[in-house]
Structure 1
């Protein structure tokens, strides 16, 4: 059995011109990311320009460039934030779920649906896969990163070291879910319930069949 490594779980923290060491810098970066997310909702990803972000965040173009050398870097940071916010909510769902195996799967799916509906910019950008399948990390696909993080959380929950087999099954499930959920929200901003429920059934059945888990 081959175990995964912690380095494989990294999301390739986005390189910025200035690291947000001070609280004020961190808050400024959050404002810039919030502005970019709002612009995506209003005008799509192509509407995110340096001048537009500066104007929406009540900053200067120089401030934007201080932290992000280009728009791709800013969008990458927003995609990484989307991923971390999603996983934080997923982890909360796992901690509060029942002892039955895969009892947390429904909340994992529901969190994604909630973010698509409510998180600014999430529907269009998600984790950056709409721009590039390796948007967050050039060495791993976005879905591979997500699968590894799910495997890490599962191992932490049930007290075992996740291996490549677990990561593989998670990646299969994530790929299925990604395609179905893209279709679910393609024409309906609230999501086509039939495709959402198909995702719940197909992915849930796949994981329960291929990844038997003990009662927590």
Structure 2
């Protein structure tokens, strides 16, 4: 007969895994990926290194899961903000203000999520989440085009270009650990002009 974990055993395993992920995210926030060694994560979580390996066979799997969790949390926050306004300009503004605002509140973490050299598996996850942001912008642009608020354009191409530009514009300030005074306003101006000219604020 196959062994079946009791609810109590499963609860302990789930709690252990959650503690490990929280510890890894804390270290990522403070030190980036170099600080997320298995030994450091185990020490922060208060568990043995063998416990970490029980949940994550190697560091690559650990940091990939940490990235997925942290990046997913950011995407969820931006998605919630973007879905509130009805006007396309307001949705784009909400995306930039939320994404960049949250990034500058935790610049070391944001830099790790956006640009820090990582394992190829994490780079693959980056592409997945970048497509998530692209889809948010594309939906807003497509709605603006359909309503006549924006000129005809390929929403996916516009969105991919805007997301790439936003990420690139944030890398240097995040690496320096602080925002330039006009970073977010400049990004908003650029994005609104890119999707439909100066009239986009009224879209």
Residue 170 to residue 129, structure 1, CA distance change in 2 (3 Å):
farther
In the other structure, the counterpart of 1:80 is 68
Would the alpha carbon gap of residues 200 and 155 (structure 1) be closer, same or farther in structure 2, given more than 3 Å must change?
closer
Q: Tell me the SS of whatever aligns to 1:190.
A: coil
**2: distance between equivalents of 1:76 and 1:35?**
14
Does residue 1:125 correspond to 2:107, yes or no?
Answer: no
Whichever structure has more helix as a proportion of its residues is 2
Residue in structure 2 matched with residue 116 of structure 1 by the alignment: 103
- TM-score, normalised with respect to structure 1: 0.68
Q: Which residue of 1 aligns with 2:189?
A: 201
1:180 aligns to what? 169
Alignment correspondent of 2:94: 107
Name the counterpart of 1:90.
78
Shift of 1:119: 4.7
Question: Can you give the 5+ residue segments of structure 1 that lack an aligned partner in the other structure?
Answer: 1-21, 160-164
- 3-state DSSP class of the match of 2:164? helix
Contact 2:23–2:45 (Cα < 8 Å) also in 1: yes
CA distance in 2, matches of 1:121, 1:144: 22
Name the SS for the 1:69 alignment partner. Answer: coil
Counterpart-to-counterpart distance in 2, 1:145 and 1:62: 35
**CA 1:53–1:132: 2 relative to 1, 3 Å:** closer
| Structure 2 gap segments, 5+ residues each | 1-9, 147-153
Find the counterpart in structure 1 of residue 55 from structure 2. 67
Question: Is 1:38 matched with 2:26?
Answer: yes
Distance (whole Å) between structure 2 residues aligned to residue 82 and residue 135 of structure 1: 12
Q: How does 1:204-215 map to 2 (within 5 A)?
A: 204-208=192-196
CA distance in 2, matches of 1:171, 1:200: 16
Residue of structure 2 equivalent to 1:10: none
More deviation, 178-187/120-129: 120-129
Mapped contact 1:38–1:121 kept (Cα < 8 A): no
What is the TM-score with the length of structure 2 in the denominator?
0.71
Q: How many residues align structurally?
A: 185
Query: In the alignment, is the contact (CA less than 8 A) between 2:27 and 2:41 conserved in 1?
Result: yes
CA distance in 1, matches of 2:175, 2:94: 22
Q: Helix, strand or coil: the match of 2:88?
A: coil
